[in-house]
Chain A
């Protein structure tokens, strides 16, 4: 019997809000799927769209970028830039044949452990339905 497809998700979490929120989910022992492995950045504004493209190129099934809620960015406006970058990136992904739902940008605060777990759970389920990243196999490297 074939094993169920488990999407591989990479997370980019900002140090001040979303990474702390993810930690809080852990401190509160909230169970959620292990599919997300996160990279800590100081600000979601550090997330270069190239990282996201590389992630898909190398086979990631989904990318989660999480930053502070609007107005809360520790560095004033990083999260606004990320929001705009990801909107543009989605257009590019569309052209490349990658479903835009494979990238998620979420606002998660340091006290939203529940939300982090809920977002990951929902993302995993969505990706399970969508299946594997289509370009991982077709792109010649």
Chain B
């Protein structure tokens, strides 16, 4: 018997690839979806990649059609700059409070011409570009961001910080009356039947492992920073250059950064480290690359094939421990102990660190709001690790993607489809109490 008073709308938290897929599937089933996204754009972390393994497909080409579909879907209510504040109720009858920050730009009037950026007097580091470039206080995080509507960063905007209450440089530049300083943050209340948490991940802060020289030695980059360096819509338009402006002649890719500290293998790093070998060789064919790893983790029917292909490009696979990265002359020295127990040192121009995948900073806060638990690593905890990893101890709340644990895009998408499956099948034959 279906309780006719159940709410049929669904809440999806997070508009990364898992959240987008879940939302589109719910919409196909004619469910209204409220997709709540913390940032101003859709695409999560995967939109930062130029290519994805193992067939080196263009990530934007892969995601853009889904993002476009999402934006035009009448069943999907995309709420950007929004966060979940409170959840009350139970499966079939949740009442959710959302705090939606003001964008200060009217999403209907704005046509995405970007004319408002140039006149803005404030520059700040672009978080999307991992701090590698600067944007203005009114900005769109990257070329091609969807929705293509800027936001005002009130932490830096002169007007909102009170430093120049009369500054309206951006508003004056806008021909469509799209900039509205009077917009207010909103409190929304949604009535939904089920919740899917697809809030993604952070990467381990490599400063916590100082032996890798991150933030101390020049030209040591994290994986996400390197993704942006390689990206054709990134801060260097895809040119891989060192801090001194030259192209690197050699690079070291260090796997397992933070693995011991976190206590688990992040499952994707070996594969994307091999992808980086492809990135580097495609831009700088003569570059000499060494991959420093402990155990090569490349499960899956297509992944070893990719590894074999990369080996043909003469990449040096070095099983190593006790890695230490320091400045040496104009470049970097990677000190390590190899598989035979011998100490070694390799001079390189550039080092790329593959840091562990860890939960978002606000994962425990979200868990409390949703009434679910977090596991020993801080990820949202599934009901049964042997069984179904999308169901959570709180009925009606499901998890998909890296919010539950480190995984690749394929597994994140499978989980989000499974979360949809669980929601759509449960409302069919849950008994009325």
Contacts and interface: CB of A to CB of B under 8 A. Distances in A.
Interface of A: 16-17, 20, 24, 27-29, 68-69, 71-72, 74, 109-115
A114 B143 CA distance: 11
A136 B65 CA distance: 39
Contacts of A28: 143, 233
Interface of B: 50, 55-62, 64-65, 112, 114, 143-144, 148, 231-233, 237-238
Given A111-B59, A111-B232, A113-B232, 4 more contacts: A68-B61, A109-B232, A110-B61, A111-B144
Contacts of B143: 24, 27-28, 113
Contacts of B64: 16, 20, 110
Contact of A114 (B50, B57, B232): B232
B61 A72 contact: yes
A13 to B, nearest CB: 13
Contacts of A109: 58, 60-61, 232
A69 B58 contact: yes
A31 to B, nearest CB: 15
A72 B144 contact: no
Contact of B233 (A69, A72, A74, A113): A113
Contacts of A24: 143-144, 233
B65 A111 contact: no
Decide if the interface of chain B is mainly helix, strand, loop or mixed. Answer: loop
B232 A20 contact: no
25 contacts: A17-B58, A24-B143, A27-B114, A27-B143, A27-B144, A69-B56, A71-B55, A71-B56, A72-B57, A74-B65, A109-B58, A109-B61, A109-B232, A110-B60, A110-B144, A111-B61, A111-B144, A111-B231, A111-B232, A111-B233, A112-B58, A112-B232, A113-B143, A114-B232, A115-B232
Contacts of A29: 114
**Lowest 9 CB-CB distances: which A-B pairs, in order?**
A111-B60, A109-B58, A110-B61, A71-B55, A110-B60, A28-B143, A109-B61, A72-B57, A17-B61
Decide if the interface of chain A is mainly helix, strand, loop or mixed. Answer: loop
B112 A114 contact: no
Contacts of A16: 61, 64-65
A111 B232 CA distance: 7
Contacts of B65: 16, 74
B131 to A, nearest CB: 21
Contacts of B231: 111
Contacts of A17: 58, 61
A109 B58 CA distance: 7
Contacts of A27: 112, 114, 143-144, 148
Nearest to A25: B143
A71 B232 contact: no
B61 A20 contact: yes
A28 B57 CA distance: 22
Contacts of B61: 16-17, 20, 68-69, 72, 109-111
Q: Which of A17, A68, A109, A113 has the most CB of B within 10 A?
A: A109
Contacts of A68: 58, 61
A17 B64 CA distance: 9
A113 B143 CA distance: 10
B57 A71 contact: yes
Given A16-B65, A28-B143, A74-B65, A110 B237 contact: no
Given A16-B65, A27-B143, A115-B232, A110 B148 contact: no
A72 B64 CA distance: 13
Nearest to B58: A109
A17 to B, nearest CB: 5
B237 A111 contact: no
Contacts of A114: 232, 237-238
Nearest to A72: B57
Contacts of B144: 24, 27, 110-111
A115 B60 CA distance: 15
A112 B233 CA distance: 7
A114 B238 CA distance: 10
Contacts of A110: 58, 60-61, 64, 144
A96 B59 CA distance: 41
Nearest to B231: A111
A132 B59 CA distance: 39
Contacts of B57: 69, 71-72
Q: Which of B50, B61, B233, B237 has the most CB of A within 10 A?
A: B61
A113 B144 CA distance: 10
